[in-house]
Amino acid sequence: MSRVGKEPVAIPPKVEVKQIGDKIEVKGPLGVLHTPIYSGIEMKVEDNLVKFSRVKEEKEIIALHGLVRALFNNCIKGVTLGWEKNLEIFGVGYRAQKKGNSLVMSLGYSHEVVFPEPQGIKIEVTDQLKIKIQGIDRQLVGQVAANIRSLKMPEPYKGKGIKYNTETIRRKAGKTGKK
C-alpha cells in the first residue's frame, strides 16, 4: 500500500470538503480550491479525517493513490495557511519594485522587465532585492516563482541573477592566467 496514500488528512475547523464528480472542492478561510480525484480511488470522510483508498490494485491506480492524497493535502494547507516562495536578486544595479499590479525589474538589460501579477497570486517587494510570492494554490505559486527566476537565472561566476532564498549557487573559479 502507498505510504503517502494511506495516511489520513485532518480537516481543520472552518474548512469544508465535498466531492463533485471527478473533482474535490475544498473551501476555507482563504478561498476555494479544486483538485482531481481519479477513477479507481475513493474518498471517505469520517470524524474530520479524510481517507483515500483504492478500488482496484492496478499499477496506474497504485501510482495515483499517493498523488491524490498529496494534492488534497496541498489544498487543505493552501486554504488555511497559504503558500509562499521567496526570491532574492543579486547584482550591481539589479532591483525590483511594484507598480500597480505589475512587478518591474531592472536586471541588467537595456530595458526594464515587466511581469504582470497573475490572478490568485500576491507579489510583494519587501526591499529592492527581495520578492515574496503568496497564494493559495501551491502549483501556481511555484510556477510564478519559476517564471520570475527564469527572467535572469543566477550565473555561476559572480552569482548575478534571481535565486530562491534557500538555493545555493555553485560558484566556479574564473579563468586563471597562463604561466
SS (H, E, C) the chain: CCCCCCCCEECCCCCEEEEECCEEEEEECCEEEEEECCCCEEEEEECCEEEEEECCCCHHHHHHHHHHHHHHHHHHHHHHCCEEEEEEEECCCCEEEEECCEEEEECCCCCCEEEECCCCEEEEEEECCEEEEEECCHHHHHHHHHHHHCCCCCCCCCCCEEEECCCCCCCCCCCCCCC
Q: Which of 2-6, 75-79, 128-132 has the lowest mean pLDDT?
A: 2-6
Instruction: Give the cell for residue 16.
Output: 469544508
Alpha-carbon span 11 to 5, nearest angstrom: 16
pLDDT tens digits, 82-100 = 999 999 999 999 999 999 9
Q: Which amino acid is at 146?
A: A
Over residues 125-152, mean pLDDT: 96
Q: What is the pLDDT of residue 117?
A: 95
Alpha-carbon span 96 to 163, nearest angstrom: 13
Q: What is the pLDDT of residue 127?
A: 92
Q: What is the pLDDT of residue 4?
A: 84
**Domains defined for the chain, CATH in brackets:** 9-80 (3.90.930.12), 83-164 (3.90.930.12)
Other C-beta atoms lying within 10 Å of the C-beta of residue 42: 12
For residue 42, give the nearest of 15, 24, 16 by alpha carbon: 24
Residue 109, pLDDT > 80, answer yes
pLDDT tens digits, 146-170 = 999 999 999 999 889 999 999 998 8
Residue 100 CB contacts under 8 Å (≥ 6 apart), including other chains: none
Residue 178, pLDDT > 70, answer no
Q: What is the pLDDT of residue 12?
A: 93
Q: pTM of the entire structure? A: 0.89
pLDDT band at 143 (very low <50, low <70, confident <90, very high): very high
Residue 177, pLDDT > 80, answer no
Q: What is the pLDDT of residue 175?
A: 81
Residue whose C-alpha cell is 510583494:
124
pLDDT band at 19 (very low <50, low <70, confident <90, very high): very high
Instruction: Give the cell for residue 71.
Output: 494534492
% of the chain with per-residue pLDDT over 70: 97
